[in-house]
Each structure stands twice: as structure tokens, then as C-alpha cells.
Structure 1
Amino acid sequence: MCRNLLIGLSLLSLCLIAPRTVGADGPIQLLSSTTRNNFPEELFFDIAVADDVSPIVSIQLIFRQRGEPSDTFARPDFDPGHHVEATYRWYTKNISVPPGIPIEYHWVIVDEVGNQLRTDPETVYYDDVRFSWHVLANDEVAVFWQAGGEQVGQKLFDSAVAALQRLSAATGAVVEYQIRIIMYASREAFRSAFPYLNQWVGGEAFSRASVIVGYAESGGSSLNWAVEQVIPHEISHILFFQATFHPHSSPPRWLNEGLAILNEARSHSEEMALVRQAVRRGELLSLGEISGGFPADERKATLSYAESLSVVGFILERYGADAMATFLEAFKDGKATAAAVDHAFGLSLEELENEWREYLSQLSPVETELPPLPVRIPRSFVPTLLGGGLLCCVGVFFVAAFVLGFVVLKRLRT
């Protein structure tokens, strides 16, 4: 009896302290919920609530960037009371949040006696409001661009649509949620949104968020580069992610990169020649070596991309689009690479690699050797002073020393 009494008292105490969720007609009333955008520095979430029955004592903001696996919980500072206004500042300057990313959020408000109001979910797009944007969109893709008029925008949009169609035909993948493509008008504008990216990066896919960011200068070579390479390549990464994502599977990088390169609207003769050269020299990397991160060595990294293209092209040629679709679906079902290969092709991973190597050995050789990849000398290794003056001074010094030595030697002999 005492035990039952204790259980009853415990349940009663839980009922007394647990918040009671109330609807819009409850004592807690939402007056306003807004955001203020100061991209790329910060995003403000503002709320105003009232409660005529009991003072409001707790306000919590819960938000998540699209594609992120977990929520962010934040508690803005405020003074408890019957009428409360609160603001949470999300500081984004140092975390490279992409422009245009959708952010879903809601509020949870609790008063002193335990009444709780959970607001309806809202979505805010963290756009780069520093610039004016044009937009072309359908259900699968939305292209935002700055300058160049409708002609530029149509080229970018057509490139995205064609890239999706090509990859869907080759893999069976379909767009699950709209892909947003943000194209700045210059490299400088692009860099201002991502000051921490490597200088050589000209485009970036945020696969989880389904956002691509790059730049295309109207009338310049960068527009053709964006249309033929950047958009098809990066859109492939996003579609690949949507087609294969599972929290417990990790598709090989050669598959992801190979499909992306193959989808670029350009010739791939250089990559294939590089693979043939590696075969002749016995330098071909194994699939295991290019399944995770690519090698840090520049030559091997370049070869890794070329091999990725080659093996994906081989799979499509040998087994077809239906088998490739089955291959991708296996990852979405949570299978590891070896199990996915067996499921799609009825082979072990080693057998698939052997077939690919045999296929390469039967290709007709290229007529000429490719020149070796250039070895880049880090700029820090080359001393400079006033635009190369130091090197010039050193050269003059050695010439002068040589002449002086020659004169002295001649005088000694005479």
C-alpha cells in the first residue's frame, strides 16, 4: 500500500510540474514571430508573446538548417512578464552558412504555472540580401543570378535542367526537394560570401542543404565554365546525395565524383588519356585507394578523378542505367559498398575492379604520351623584393663577383 501511495504521489508531482501544451486559444498568445537578415554576418529571430494569466518564464528557439541531422536549441535573454519580447542572434560570420539555405524553426514558450505554447513551424531563406537577384525556377531547380539579364539566367537554368535530365537517365535518380543555385556576378562577390574557402574554389555544393553557390561573369569565360562544368558537376553531387543518403552507409567517392565529372558538358579525352597512361606505366590506383578521401599528392589526386570517371563510364557501358540505379538504391537502403556491388551486379568488389582493369587493358593506346603534370613551386619558396628585385640583386652580385675574381686572377698571373 505504501508503495502504491508513493507511486501515486510521484505521478501527481509530475502532473504538477510538467508543462501543459495549449493551443492558440490558450492563455499564451503569439503576437509576432519574424526574422531580420544581415547576411553573411547574422540572422535575428524575433518573437513577441503575451499571457494574461501567468508570467512567461521560458522561451526557447528550435531551428535547423535543411539537411542537418539535428536541431539547434537556443534560449534568448528576456525579462519574465505577462508581455514579453525576445530576440535571438544567430552569428554566422565564422561558419560559412551558404546563401539561400532554408532554415526551419519554431518557438516553445512556457509560463509560470506550466502552460506551454509550441508555435507552428516556419521556414526562412537565409538569402544574400546585399544584392538584387533574378530567378528562374521549376519544381526541381531554382536559379538565382545577379547580372547579365534574362539571356544569362536562361543559360544557367537550361544547364541545370539538362544536367538533371542526363543524370536521371543514367542513374534513375530523381529530385526529392528543390535544388537552389546561387550564381554571383563576380569572383569577388562570391568570395565575400565565403571568405574562408580556398582561393581556387569557384563553386561549392552543399549537398545536405540542396544549395549550389558559384559565380558567372556575363560575357566572360566564367559563364561558359559555369554552364558546362560547375553547374552540371555540383548538381550531380546534390542529386547523388539525395539518391543515396542513409545514416549508416557511405558510398565510395569514386562513384560520386565519377558521375559528377561524367555529367559535365565537355570532352573527357584528357582524363581518359591520363588513365591509359597510368595503365601503361603500372601506376593505376586501386578502387580502395579512391573510395574515401583522395590522395594529397597532386598527381595522384588528378589521377583519382580521372579513374573515377573511367570506372563509372565502364559500369554504365557494361551494365547499363538500370543496374546503376539499383547500385545507388542499395546505398539508400543502408548497404555497404561490397554488398551494394553484389546486389547490383552480382559481383564482388574485387571482381568488379578486375573487370574494369581488363576493360582498360583492351582500349586502344593513345598515340602520344601526356606531358607530366606540372610541379607547382609554392610561392613562399621564391623570395621577392619589390617585384623580384631580390632575385635580380642576387644575380647581379654573382656576376660582379665572377668578373672581379677574373680580373684579380689575371693580374696575379701578370
Structure 2
Amino acid sequence: MGQVLDNIIQYADEIRAEGAEGDKLMRLTDNNAKRLRDAGVIRMLQPKEHGGLEVHPREFAETAMAIGAMDGATGWVAGIVGVHPWELTFFDPKAQEEIWGEDPDMWMASPYAPMGVAVPVDGGYVLNGRWSFSSGTDHCGWIMIGAAVGDKDGNRLNPPQVLHVLLPRSDYDIDQDSWNVVGLRGTGSKDLIVEDAFIPAYRTLDADIVLGGNGWRHAGRDETLYKFPFSCIFPLGITSSLIGMAEGALACYIAAQKERVAVTGIPIKEDPYVLYALGEAAAEIAASRAAILETVDRFWDKTDKGQEVTFEERAIGRRTQTAAAWRAVRAVDEIFARSGGGAMHLKFPMQRFWRDAHVGLSHAIHVPGSIFHASSLTQLGGEPQGVHRSMI
């Protein structure tokens, strides 16, 4: 067990208890955000020269799973915000110093989708736009967001060019009324609004450099962590936290069913059909966990040996990751449907794990269509094109 995981486990009871409060607030409680900060969760993939820990991605995944099993929203924020320091490593050193120099525990929110337009001007760009789904944003001092490059009139270039850009909290607004949803409420994934913000060139990075797996070359890094495939590391925290939610739901179910007696008067633990469903769900959730971690270990070993992780391997890795998410949530459905009326009470966490898991599954990183297409076509000797190569 890693040191960060040891650190966060000591807060498990408190994180669980405040999950319900975060659900009401529609953001992480200040205390739960502080617990993530104090435990070092967001510094796990951060470079050592800026106070980071540079852990193995498996350790990062296992930590996100553990937190997700305590509270889905807290795990989700840990998994998403925790990846951003990995990418900041590829930015200009001046940008890194600007963010981490004042505070090695500085958090950055996203999203990467190019929802706004950056118009070139002397020394950089002027950015305008509105971005949705900025998880954990209330607790972040910076954002790392996607922006389409535009012409002088603000029209997007064709073919498109996308940047990842950095802005401090003073340069954008958070729409506090933009997040009122059925699940993952505690993530506070609100909208961001940027109006005529100047972004110096050193705070921008061509998205293709990162997506193409060349960030480490661009930045002159040679650590295995930063050579690791983007298409594995980016979904890792998201899917790991989701599997953690499934584990949390399973733990709630087992605890509640031990002494439960059905309306027939038969103890649940004597019902062979419930026992079968429980056994199958537990096995499916365990299989999802094992599949994610096996991919991480295998990709790490290849990367560490200086070997390329091929497009086909990356596509299959994404297929494994996506399938693991769906498998885990289907397993949650099987046990939730057999939980009895008590599980529906808002005072019990079972319903929140169920809601959080379903909303987590709706994230774009879990959409299976193009990923399954690309992995299968590649294995058959074909060459996926366009959207079917996206995020692989």
C-alpha cells in the first residue's frame, strides 16, 4: 500500500460522513478537499522538482478506487484533478513555476473540450467562451482547458487547431447555478466563463503534442511516468474512481443484507437467488478492477523498457477500460435492485453510490462505440480513421 493511500485511509470515516453534505452543497465540502490536499492525492503524478511524488500510475489508480469507495464525488475529483499535474509537466517551465512556485498543492480544474476560441494577438491569445463540467472547480486556483484557435474575427480555423491553455482564478468566472444534477452532485462540475482573457504564449500547449504521446519529448523529460501513454493515464483516474464507487456500493449492500429478513420471513442470506446475484456482482466488480490494473502494469513495463505501446495495444487498453466501467455499473444495478426499500432512503449511502456510478458512466471517456470499433478494426488489420482514432 502506498503512502498516499495510507494517508487517505485514516480519513475514511470522515470522508464517508461528509459525502452526504457534499451532495447537498453540490461541491466537495471544504474538509474533504482539505483531506485530499493533506494526504498528497493531487501531487501523486506531479514532478518531484515541484513537490510531487511521481508515483506508479497503478498506485494512483488504487488510491482513486479507495477514495471512490468512501464517497463517489470525492473519488471523482481526486481522479480528474489528480491527472492535471501530469500534463502541466509538459508546459513551459515558466508556467510550471508560476503555478507550483507559489503553492506545490495548487489544484487545476479542466475540461479539455475546446468549447471556447483563442484569437492570436501579440505575445499570446485572447480567449472567450463557456466550458461545462469543470469538476472540483470551486477548490481550484487555476484551470487547464481546451481552446480552438480562431482567426482575427473569432471564427474557428478549418482544419481545427486545439490548444490546452492555463488561466488563473482571476481570469474566469464560475457559474454557481450551473450544476444541479442527479448524481456526482458533490463534484461541483460547474460551468466556467471566460471573457477577453489574455493568455501569454508560454501558458499554452498544442493539444496534439499531448494527445499524440509526445509531451515528454516536447518537454525533454525521460521519466517513465511522463512517457506513459496519455490514452491510458487520462481515463485512469476517472474509471478507477467509478470502480471504487461500485466497490463502495457492494460494501454497503453486504453490510445491509447480513441481518435483513425479506417480507416472506426468510433471511436474505438463506435466499439462493440473492446469494447468486451477490456472488456474480462481486466477481464482476473484482474483474473490472483487475482489468484496469493489469493494463496499467503492462503498459508501464513496456514504457519502462523503452518499448512503444502500439496503437493497437492502446486501442485494446481503452476497450478494456471502457468495458470495465460498464461491467462494474451493471453489477451495481444487479445488487441495487435486490437491496429492498431501505436502500432508497437518502439517509443511506447506497442510493448515492448508485446515482454517482450512473452519472460517472455517462462521461465521454466511457462511450464504447468508437473505441470498440477502433480496437476491433485494428486487430483485423484495418486502419481506423477520424473520430475512431480519437483519445487512443
TM-score computed with the length of structure 1 as normaliser = 0.25
Greater share of strand = 1
Bigger-Rg structure (1/2): 1
Greater share of helix = 2
TM-score computed with the length of structure 2 as normaliser = 0.26
